[in-house]
Structure 1
């Protein structure tokens, strides 16, 4: 239960807060009092910040619907239970301290400690006084405030007592029991219509007086669903349009209470139907979200306007679609509400229904010819948002009524959104419906991603979604449209299955990255640590010769961390021209995270080249490990004739036609670079 305690320091400065004190809900006030006393005596230095009954708190304003006028409500501070675990119950307190708690409470105006209030499990309010060191000074039940006799009689419904008190000369019915709370509010709150009649007969002028929250007696009665009091007040001339501080009228509040009877009474007494609350909502809109067709019909007959919107530009029809209220949506459409009206952010009812997954609402709106090609604020259509949310049924309903040309103008395909969220069923439905699998994000949307991705295939590859990659490639997706190729993404993820699939569907192994040029195929940067993948790329057309092209050759290389501008200062024009080709392979392989694999990598590459010269940097790597000396011998010129013949045959025949050659299997395997013992890939 939510509760609070009040702390008082010095001469009256109060601060309040609210905690959950549910652990002592089973203790009586005597047990809790005894517990507090014993703990205080056991530890005089108890930390007041964690004490169960000594918590500095902050005030809470009660909800505007809860205006209880009795003594408990007049004290706006709710009280609390202790948070500490209760000990076993004892029958009496045994004082071991020479200074037990005092029998009388200290004067709050002069007391310098803290005053804490809490509530026992039986609902008894307690008060405790403590010094700043945590020691208990006084604890006892909190004195109860006495309720005004008139208000007490009204709450009890004692009409004779109310009449007697009202008849006493000098009785002032305009005197509030608490800020703004008059006897007439008390009667309206508790539904005492007979007492209400007596009060209004004695003092008619208080019928429209408002509480501190701006609530008239009529609004108080409606908020408590007191129909008879509502009727009495209206019969006696209560203004049906007086608003509270949130600009809620009695009619609006009756719609909020979902009470057709109170709405009918208010309308019969001339209540205005199109008044907006502080958020711009009308009574009709409130009834729509509560799916109350009966109230909606009454309001419409009384002149409610279907086109009025709240401060966000939301109409009643939009609210019905947003909340999935089918009955009131049908009612509004039947009476001519604009099905394609847009909120302030451009969203339509169809868009909002698709976003919230309301299938029946979408079905109804489409059947009534709602425009599926109106975009929201972000430019997305209802189909986009349904694909993003993963609503299979809604997507299937929206596909036939969505223009592919309109989709193209948005700069993003629903395929992108389905692929991004791994909604494979939706991806399949969109492909079957003929959406372009090679549609690319507009430049503005592509810039939202750091890697400048543009295709649905890229989304599926980076998500490592093999099923989606299969679908897209099978439907004709081009794996070479993105700036940063999907093949590079798959290689970076060490996913050989995706790499194989992309290569089989024409992925360019030798592609570069425009923003980070390299003198060798860029995909090698992401595959050198995984030799089976690296070898697969070489087997399927990856260039190997470019890995041995070096502008420095056998000359010393500048330090790896030397900037390009510094290197260009010491190079002639020809070397500067070569440097513009990008990072060299020997530089990439010298990166600390890769150089430990330099030997095996160079060894694999040598199987795919003829006469090449190892630059000084590559030689340094091979000299760094004694077992790599055989690799240097392998690179020595001239290369074996068998190796040169293999390269020439591959150049003339192409790898895919090797198996068709009338050659022994061993020779075919040699031509395919399968003679070495390399792990299965």
Structure 2
């Protein structure tokens, strides 16, 4: 029996599957497998010892040439994986079966394509291998060659009968693989040979969708030039344009806009504007606005329900992201600030962003809007601005209602505990998180109302801090005639028309409540 000494083996790098054959000890029986199932022929193929391999095969028992390791690898598959061309020639010449796969169903041809080795591929094809065999995940040799962007191998495979329309277990075709991985050369090759440009994976994604998702600009350009359908959605119902807007791919967005149906976009229930603003993609937002996408497009009910606050417009996304530039662009393009159930102005006030508040008010935001699910007797936006007195005053200066803030069901009678829902609705100033600002808030509000009566709860607040006593005096009737005249003029003329009146600047400032505060102005407690 043929024996082999330890000197015939060489050290090498670790095997792909951590199955590097163990060095044979002296006097090892090479006809018996080592621990991982490796015979001497596998070892010789691994190390590329063509002469040793010839000797082993000459003395081998019948069938040993196709013996498989515990992972199902034949000596031929090992030689191909290691790209030892001479060993592959020897094994094929001695009758090795070229179609025996490993236990992952990867054939020698598949491995040769994985290694992107055209010489071994040509050798295997010349020995009549089956070209359309699939691995355990459904990939063919052609799909693997496409993934390696090797046009030379792809040409050989097609000539040998490879089919370019076979999909793997995920419904992915070779052309899809080329688009997904950004392999321009093999993509051109497959299109030239009639591959379906609009094939869809199991989740509905097309090659164009995948190329967009991965930011492959040249691939997108080629697919569009070959009339790829930009109106096929993926699993979530989004079009390639949505994905490009979300990724911030301004160049890809510009390519997709002319070939995307705006009617089809509307049917998805979400605009690419939403996608761009949600991720703060300002350049993409500008491109979409210039292309005429509706800045007032609202999320469908289904899409809106994905958000706890039931947001609807792109403007809302911009405000909640505190993206002032996006807010400015959307408003300048005609965005309506009053479409959402929970108004963007309320969000901006809650965030304390006076710049956004100013922009929204200047473009018609309803300061006195209410929240349907949380009715109040005063504008809901006050709930979020009372802690920011300059903002609170700004809202009052621009049309906010002040009189309703003094409406109280109980008046001078005893009030129920603060925790009750009625007290929260009727008397927001008494909410624990607000009451420490009660004095300054009441002081500001009194500048915008005539004769009012402070309820017992408000009086309690003012009595709790000695420096607020002047506010009680300010509220006591009669109110100054000058102040009452100011209110009457504002009511008759309207704030927007004041500047057009032929009046001295000082009087205009007075009518606008420009602050010239007295020394006894109320302060917050420390």
Q: TM-score, normalised by structure 1?
A: 0.72
Kindly tell me: are residues 63 and 631 of structure 1, through their superposed partners in 2, closer, same or farther at Cα, counting changes over 3 Å? farther
Residue 345 (structure 2) pairs with residue 487 (structure 1): yes
Equivalents in 1 of 2:302, 2:492: separation in Å?
A: 45
Partner in structure 2 of residue 118 of structure 1: none
Partner in structure 2 of residue 208 of structure 1: 66
Contact 2:212-2:220 within 8 A present in 1 as well: yes
Residue 36 (structure 2) pairs with residue 196 (structure 1): no
Partner in structure 2 of residue 409 of structure 1: 267
Partner in structure 2 of residue 94 of structure 1: none
Specify which structure has the higher proportion of helix: 2
Partner in structure 2 of residue 183 of structure 1: 40
Match 1:652 to one of 486, 492, 500:
492
1:666 to partner: Cα distance: 2.0
Partner in structure 2 of residue 593 of structure 1: 433
Alignment map for 1:270-349 (pairs within 5 Å)? 270-349=128-207
Partner in structure 2 of residue 640 of structure 1: 480
Residue 1 (structure 2) pairs with residue 69 (structure 1): no
Residue 280 (structure 2) pairs with residue 434 (structure 1): no
Equivalents in 1 of 2:156, 2:37: separation in Å?
A: 33
Equivalents in 1 of 2:183, 2:165: separation in Å?
A: 18
Equivalents in 1 of 2:506, 2:115: separation in Å?
A: 87
Alignment map for 1:108-187 (pairs within 5 Å)? 147-149=25-27, 173-187=30-44
Match 1:227 to one of 65, 85, 90:
85
SS state of the match for residue 306, structure 1? coil
SS state of the match for residue 522, structure 1? coil
State which drifts further: 350-359 or 512-521. Answer: 512-521
SS state of the match for residue 435, structure 1? coil
Question: Matched residue pairs, number?
Answer: 505
Partner in structure 2 of residue 140 of structure 1: none
Residues 598-657 of structure 1: per-residue CA shift (max 9 Å, x gap): 011001101111121111111111111111111111111222222221111111100111
SS state of the match for residue 219, structure 2? helix
1:249 to partner: Cα distance: 0.6
Equivalents in 1 of 2:249, 2:51: separation in Å?
A: 56
Partner in structure 2 of residue 548 of structure 1: 406
Residue 504 (structure 2) pairs with residue 664 (structure 1): yes
1:149 to partner: Cα distance: 4.4
CA RMSD of aligned residues (A): 1.6
Residue 457 (structure 2) pairs with residue 617 (structure 1): yes
1:63 to partner: Cα distance: 5.5
Considering only CA atoms, is the larger Rg found in Structure 1 or Structure 2? 1
Match 2:250 to one of 387, 392, 399:
392
SS state of the match for residue 378, structure 1? coil
Partner in structure 2 of residue 248 of structure 1: 106
Partner in structure 2 of residue 155 of structure 1: none
SS state of the match for residue 255, structure 1? helix
Equivalents in 1 of 2:240, 2:70: separation in Å?
A: 46
Residue 228 (structure 2) pairs with residue 370 (structure 1): yes
1:183 to partner: Cα distance: 1.4
Kindly tell me: are residues 510 and 596 of structure 1, through their superposed partners in 2, closer, same or farther at Cα, counting changes over 3 Å? same
Equivalents in 2 of 1:179, 1:370: separation in Å?
A: 49
Kindly tell me: are residues 255 and 674 of structure 1, through their superposed partners in 2, closer, same or farther at Cα, counting changes over 3 Å? same
Gaps in structure 1 of 5+ consecutive residues: 1-61, 72-145, 151-171, 565-578
Contact 1:65-1:223 within 8 A present in 2 as well: no
Partner in structure 2 of residue 514 of structure 1: 372
Contact 1:64-1:213 within 8 A present in 2 as well: no
